[in-house]
A and B are shown apart, each in its own frame.
Chain A
Amino acid sequence: MTISSPSSPQEYIKHHLHSLQFGEGFWAFNLDSLFFSILLGVIFLSIFHRVAHKATTGVPGKLQCAVEMIIEFVDKTVKDMFSGQNKLIAPLALTIFVWVFLMNLMDLLPIDFLPYISQQLGLPYLRVVPTADVSITMSMAIGVFLLIIIYTFKYKGVKGFIKDYTLHPFNHWAFAPINLLLETVSLLSKPISLGLRLFGNMYAGELIFILIAALIPWWSQWVLSLPWAIFHILIITLQAFIFMVLTIVYLSMASETEDH
C-alpha cells in the first residue's frame, strides 16, 4: 500500500473504485464505507436529538421546522402504507430515509476532494459514498429481510408462517413444494432487489462522475458534471424514498393477517 498518483484514466478509475480495505477476501472490511456511514448516522442522530430536546411548542426555529417537516412527511407515508399498528415502523422509516439520503448526498461532493485530503494523510484509497458500496446496501437490506421474517412470525405465528410459504399462491397441500419454492424465491428477491437497486443507482452515479473527471479536460468538466449533479439531487432523494417505501411495504405485507 504505497501512495501513488494514478497516471492514466484506467488507473484513475480503478483507483477510485477501490475501497480502503482491512483484511482479506470475504473478511475484508471497507473502512471508508463503514467510517462514513457511521459518521453520517451520528450526524443525523445528533441533529435530530438536539432538535428533539430543544423542541418548543411555540414558534419553532428553522431547523426544528425542517425536522418537523421531514418527520411529518415520513409519518404520513407510513400511515398511508402500513395498515397495522406498530411503534417501530415510523422511526425505522425515518432512519432509513434520512440516513440513506445523507449517504447518497456524499455523492454530490466532488469525487476527488476527500480522497485527495486522505491521500495527503497517508490513506491510499477512499470511497466516500457508502451507498455505492454493495456491502453497505446489502447489509441494510438484510436488516430489513430479518425484520420481514420476524414480523411474519410476530403477526401470524409459526402456523401462519408455514402456511404463508406452503399454501400460497396455490391454496392446496399438494402444491406445497411448488409454493415453497415460489415463495422462497419471492422472499429472497425482496432484500436483493432492495439492496441492489440502491447500490446500482449510486454506483452508476458515482461511476459517471468518475468518468467525467477521468476523461474530460479539467476546464470543460462542468459542462457534463454540473447537469449530472443537478439531476443527481433528484436521484438521491428518490432512492432514499424508494428504500423507505419498499421497507414499509414489505413489512406491511409481512404483518397482514388476512389471507388474500
Chain B
Amino acid sequence: MNMNATLLGQAITFVLFVWFCMKFVWPPIISAIEKRQKEIADGLASAETAKKDLELAKANTSDIMQQAKVEANAIIEQANKRKASIIEEAQQEATRERERIVAQGLAEVEAERKRAREELKQQVARLAIAGAEKIIERSVNEAANSDIIDKLVAEL
C-alpha cells in the first residue's frame, strides 16, 4: 500500500467533503446566525425608536402643560378683572342706592317737619284764639273773625 496514493485518495475525499459542507452544511448554520443577528439588530433598533418616541411624547406633554398653564393664567387674570369690575359695579350701585335712600329719608324728614310745623302753627293759632276769646270775654263770632285768624296763621 502506497502511502502517497492513499493520501491522494483521502485528499479527494476531503476536498469533496469540504465542498459538501460549504454547499449544504454551512449555509443553514450561517443563515441561522445571520437571522439571529438581524433579529437582535431589529430589536435594538425598535427599542431605540420607541425611546425616541417616548422622548418626543415627553417633550410634547411638557409643551402642552406649558400652554395649559399659560391659558389657565390668562383665565384667572380675566376672572380677576371680572371680579374687580363686578365689585366696582356693585359698589357704585350700592352708593347710588344709599344716596337714594338717604335722599328719600331726608325728603320724608322734611315733609314730616313741614307737617309738624303746620300742626304747630294751627295749635298756636288755636291757643291764640282761645287766649283772645278769654281776653275778650265775649263771644265773638268765630266765623266773622276766621279770616283774621287765617291771616294770623299765615303770618306765623
Residues on A lying within 8 angstroms of B by beta carbon are: 5-9, 12, 58-60, 62, 65-66, 68-69, 108-113, 116, 213-214, 216-222, 225-226, 229-230, 233
**A209 smallest CB distance to B (angstroms):** 9
- Closest chain-A Cβ to B39's Cβ sits at a distance in Å of 10
Cβ contact within 8 Å between A66 and B17:
no
Q: Can you list 26 A-B pairs with a CB-CB distance of less than 8 A?
A: A6-B3, A9-B1, A59-B37, A60-B40, A62-B34, A62-B37, A65-B36, A69-B33, A69-B36, A110-B7, A110-B13, A113-B7, A113-B10, A116-B7, A214-B6, A218-B5, A218-B12, A221-B10, A222-B12, A222-B13, A222-B16, A225-B10, A225-B13, A226-B13, A229-B13, A229-B17
Decide: A12 near B20, CB < 8 A? Known: A110-B13, A229-B13. Answer: no
Q: Is B84 an interface residue (CB 8 A)?
A: no
Closest to B1 in A: A12
CB pair B16–A5 under 8 Å, yes or no, is no
Which A residues are CB-close (under 8 A) to B37? 59-60, 62, 65
Report the separation of the CA atoms of residues A66 and B40 in the bound assembly, to the nearest whole angstrom.
13
User: A219 to B44, alpha carbons, bound, how many Å?
Assistant: 53
Tell me how far the C-beta of B36 lies from the nearest C-beta in chain A, rounded to whole angstroms. Answer: 5
User: Is the CB of B32 closer than 8 A to any CB of chain A?
Assistant: yes
A6 to B2, CA, bound (A): 8
Taking the closest CB of chain B, its distance from the CB of A47, in whole angstroms, is 15
Closest 9 CB pairs of A and B: A218-B9, A110-B10, A221-B9, A218-B5, A222-B13, A65-B33, A59-B41, A225-B13, A110-B14
Asked whether A230 and B17 contact (CB < 8 A) given A60-B37, A221-B12, the answer is yes
Taking CB atoms and an 8 Å cut-off, the chain B residues in 8-59 that contact chain A are 8-14, 16-17, 20-21, 25, 29-30, 32-34, 36-37, 40-41, 44
- Are B9 and A219 interface neighbours, CB within 8 A? yes
Q: How far does the alpha carbon of A222 sit from the alpha carbon of B14 in the complex, in Å?
A: 8
B1 and A8 form a contact (CB under 8 A): yes
Per a CB cutoff under 8 Å, which of B11, B21, B40 touches A110? B11
Asked, given contacts A59-B44, A222-B13, A225-B13, whether A213 binds B6 with beta carbons under 8 Å apart, the answer is yes
Contact indicator A112/B16 (Cβ below 8 Å): no
CA distance A108 to B9 in the complex (A): 14
Q: How far is the CB of B57 from chain A (nearest CB, A)?
A: 25
> B36 contacts which chain A residues (CB < 8 A)?
65, 68-69
Distance A136 CA – B114 CA, assembled complex (angstroms) = 142
B3 near A230: Cβ-Cβ < 8 Å:
no
Q: Which residues of A lie under 8 Å from residue B10 when comparing CB positions? A: 110-113, 213, 221, 225
A219 CA / B6 CA spacing, docked (Å) = 9
Q: Most B CB atoms within 10 A — which of A69, A218, A229?
A: A218
A214 touches B16 (CB 8 A): no
Give complex CA distance A113, B13 in Å. Answer: 12
Residues of B contacting A220 in the complex (Cβ-Cβ under 8 angstroms)? 9
A58 & B30 in contact (Cβ 8 Å cutoff): no
Q: Are A226 and B16 in contact (CB under 8 A)?
A: yes
Contact (A6, B7) CB under 8 Å given A65-B37, A222-B16: no
| Residue of chain A at shortest CB distance from B36 | A65
**Chain A: minimal CB distance from B28 (Å):** 12
| Cross-interface CB contact of B20 among A60, A65, A116, A230, cutoff 8 Å | A230
- How far apart are the CA atoms of A68 and B36 in the complex, in Å? 10
Which residues from chain B contact A113 at a C-beta distance below 8 Å? 7, 10, 14
Asked, given contacts A59-B41, A69-B36, A108-B17, whether A222 binds B9 with beta carbons under 8 Å apart, the answer is yes
